[in-house]
Amino acid sequence: MTRPLTHARLASLLAALSSIGPFAIDAYLPAFPAIGAALGASQLEVQQTLTIYMAALAAMVLWHGALADRFGRRRVLIALTVVFALASLVCALAPSIEWLWVGRALQGLSGGAGIVVGRAVVRDLHEGPQAQRLMSRVMLIFALAPALAPLVGAGLLALAGWRAIFLFLTLFGFVLAWVTWRFLPETLAEEDRQPLHPLALLRAYLAIFRHPGFLLLALGVALNFNGFFLYVLSAPVFILEHLGLGSGGFVWLFGPAVGGMMIGSMLSERMAGRWSPVRTVGTGFVLMFAAVVANAAVSGLFAPGVPRSVLPIGLFSCGMAVAMPSMSLLGLELFPERRGMASSCQSFLQIGFNAASSALVAPALWSSPLGLASGMGMFAALGLCTWLAWRRLAGRGPATARLGEMAPRP
């Protein structure tokens, strides 16, 4: 028996479930040198724990939505959160880097359920400006995770060693599973559930990935996010080497980034129902490109230092947070009967780009601050191209009507 949740408490729970991913990525970043020393692993081998996590996350995230469309949102969230907790325990007890790879893969297979199914829950309950407000509220609270995670990780590392970080994730997972079981209602009615037949799933996935409007919106979200995530992936090098700070210096990166995300989420929530999605997203891109120009200037003209090297990252994350809710919801609007699968496909593209950045882009660019600034600019430019292509496509087809449905009331 679940207890009813207020709007604020629902947003908090969905944000906490979504924050499993950021905690699994960011909390152990300060411990990279300690993990390498304890397990006799090179920097590249420790970096591969992140790549393996991202690859497993991308592979499994396609199934989270399909499972939630078949068995309901609540059941899937509880089961996969428990799996994440057990996987974190494997990481905490890992006797070698290979066992840590196994644990990270298991974390990746389960860690994306919160953000995928959470988006579907938002769209189950609301539409239009109300959905944008709830999504923005979720992002506002969720934005705390990337700032808190490295601080929690650095604190646990100093107090009890790197294994304590994964023990914390174990406890975090079990507590979230219990809270979900106790308080989250089921938002998908029995009659709206979809079968899990392989051919039907294949046809549904093909229909989603072949939809040009959906693909452009999902790619835009993924590319914009990677402009920021590039710095998360490069955080150990950027903080410890370029900025010359210790493990406690991660707050200099994640503090401005999270502050920017919180401000952007608040702006998006305020814009909902007042501004159209097109105007909201356009504002987000203006902020992102202002950040790109500032970042390139600071990186090219000055030596690395705080706060000048991190403030543009905060501005970029602000613009990203303004644009992301509207872009995500416009994509989900295209598949009202398969919101879980559509959310999975959005996450698959985003996480796939994250994994590629982890394996290829970040290592190629993190040798200099200007290289990282160039990477941010590249991702933002590609994201803008997808948005402009979607605008052109929407102007020629039914998507224009959908924009009208979500536009502000006179």
Number of domains comprising the chain: 1
Beta-carbon contacts of residue 302 (< 8 Å; ≥ 6 apart)? 308, 309
Supply the angle between the helices 113-125 and 97-111 in degrees, to the nearest 10.
10
Look at residue 196 in the predicted model and tell me its pLDDT.
75
Query: Is 2 part of a structural domain of the chain?
Result: no
What is the spatial distance between Cα 23 and Cα 254, in angstroms, rounded to a whole number? 12
Query: Is 1 part of a structural domain of the chain?
Result: no
Residue 76 lies in domain: 7-184+195-406
What is the spatial distance between Cα 259 and Cα 248, in angstroms, rounded to a whole number? 18
- Distances in Å between the Cα of 110 and the Cα atoms of 17, 54, 64 are 11, 11, 9
Look at residue 401 in the predicted model and tell me its pLDDT.
39
Query: Is 189 part of a structural domain of the chain?
Result: no
Query: Is 352 part of a structural domain of the chain?
Result: yes
For residue 175, give the nearest of 380, 13, 29 by alpha carbon: 13
Look at residue 2 in the predicted model and tell me its pLDDT.
58
Buried b (16+ CB within 10 A) or exposed e, 160-179: eebbbbbbbbbebbbebbeb
Whether residue 336 contacts residue 69, with contact meaning beta carbons closer than 8 Å, is answered with: no
What is the spatial distance between Cα 327 and Cα 264, in angstroms, rounded to a whole number? 14
Look at residue 144 in the predicted model and tell me its pLDDT.
72
Digit-by-digit pLDDT tens for the chain (410 residues) are 556 567 678 878 888 888 888 789 888 988 999 999 999 988 889 988 988 998 888 788 888 878 888 888 889 999 999 999 999 999 999 999 999 999 999 999 998 888 888 877 877 777 667 776 777 777 766 667 766 888 889 899 999 999 999 999 999 999 999 999 988 888 777 777 877 777 878 888 888 889 999 999 999 999 998 898 889 888 888 988 899 887 678 778 888 888 898 899 889 888 877 888 899 999 999 999 999 999 999 999 999 998 999 999 999 999 999 998 889 888 888 887 777 778 788 888 887 777 777 678 888 888 899 999 999 999 999 999 999 999 998 876 554 434 434 444 33
Supply the angle between the helices 97-111 and 32-39 in degrees, to the nearest 10.
140
- Distances in Å between the Cα of 135 and the Cα atoms of 14, 127, 146, 239, 326 are 9, 10, 18, 31, 9
Look at residue 128 in the predicted model and tell me its pLDDT.
67
Query: Is 190 part of a structural domain of the chain?
Result: no
Cα 136–chain centre separation: 13
- Residue 2 DSSP code: P
For residue 393, give the nearest of 140, 195, 155, 216 by alpha carbon: 216
Query: Is 321 part of a structural domain of the chain?
Result: yes
What is the spatial distance between Cα 170 and Cα 174, in angstroms, rounded to a whole number? 6
Query: Is 68 part of a structural domain of the chain?
Result: yes
- What's the token pair of residue 219? 């790619």
Q: What is the CATH number of the domain that holds 93?
A: 1.20.1250.20
